[in-house]
Homo-oligomer: A and B are copies of this chain.
Amino acid sequence: MIGALEAGGTKMVCAIFSNEGELIERVSYPTETPKDVMPKIIDFFKGFPELKAIGVGSFGPIGVNKDIGTFGYITTTPKLAWQHFNLYGTLKDALNLPIAWTTDVNAAAYGELRQGAAQDVKNCIYLTVGTGVGGGVVVNENVVEGFAHPETGHMLLRKHEDDYYEGFCPFHDNCVESLAAGPAIEGRWGKKAIELADQAEVWELEADYLAQALYNYYVTLSSERFILGGGVMKQSQLFPLIREKFEQLNNGYLELPALDSFIVPPLLGDNAGITGCYELAKDLLEEAVEN
């Protein structure tokens, strides 16, 4: 059996998969504080003595670089109770199992690559557009980590000349999170995204910003697929608009994949994260056997 933990900002999803990859059990607990929730998570996994490994995809920022003292920690999150909490180490100490460790969005990207909307390719980006913007990056079938992990929500954009909204990211007035996440829509137009569904200018502008971000990821990586999820993307009229703006930005320069199958919604829905965690833990076990 293989365990999966999607450690999200609002809930902790714990799951158990069979060796054949079947989802056997799935529970979730409110994220609250480490003191409240960690014992529940540990008890849950201890209930499965056949577990061979666990995959963890965590909200961030997290430490992923083994050469730096913050490996395994949730670092500078605004959730005070979780700041500088050693999530990896706490699980390792309690469960003594191999643990695959990455960001929640990297796990979701990997889940979609292995079993979802990017099964037929090797390179994808999973972007979630909700209360913030975050993205997971897969290159050549591996999740990307470097000095730290991708922070695709902070891609800097050209602000639209008619857009007087000042952005809500405390660090960047023109990053995609600052201009296109849910709070930006509400801040700019005075209503929530869901109440603006029939306002064409809202989605034109939103699509423009998201297309700029995708174009910049594309020139960097030549990704084969962009998977867009999160609350804002429930406005599915965005998909054709983003494709159209992407093509306009390209202006005939680069050869592109067929747009309808290039910029797409997720296939795995709420299970993208735990599926990716399972797949990463399985890879870890396979690597251990090979070495």
Chain A contacts to B: CB under 8 angstroms: 61, 75, 122-123, 137, 139-140, 142, 144-159, 171-172, 174-175, 212, 215-217, 219-224, 249-257
Contacts and interface: CB of A to CB of B under 8 A. Distances in A.
Given A152-B219, A156-B216, 8 more contacts: A123-B147, A140-B144, A144-B221, A150-B222, A158-B158, A158-B159, A172-B251, A221-B221
Given A174-B158, A251-B171, A139 B144 contact: yes
B250 A151 contact: no
14 contacts: A139-B146, A144-B222, A146-B222, A146-B224, A147-B255, A148-B254, A149-B222, A150-B220, A151-B222, A151-B253, A154-B219, A156-B219, A172-B249, A221-B221
B222 A148 contact: yes
A152 B255 contact: no
A147 B224 contact: yes
A164 to B, nearest CB: 15
Given A139-B139, A171-B251, A222 B156 contact: no
Contact of A254 (B151, B220, B223): B151
Quickly give the copy total for this chain. Answer: 2
Nearest to A153: B219
B219 A150 contact: yes
A144 B125 CA distance: 14
A254 B122 CA distance: 28
B154 A221 contact: no
Nearest to A252: B171
A155 B123 contact: no
A223 B221 CA distance: 12
Contacts of A158: 156-159, 174
Closest 5 CB pairs of A and B: A146-B222, A171-B253, A123-B146, A171-B251, A154-B219
Nearest to A154: B219
A223 B146 CA distance: 5
A171 B155 CA distance: 21
Given A156-B216, A158-B174, A222 B147 contact: yes
A257 B147 contact: yes
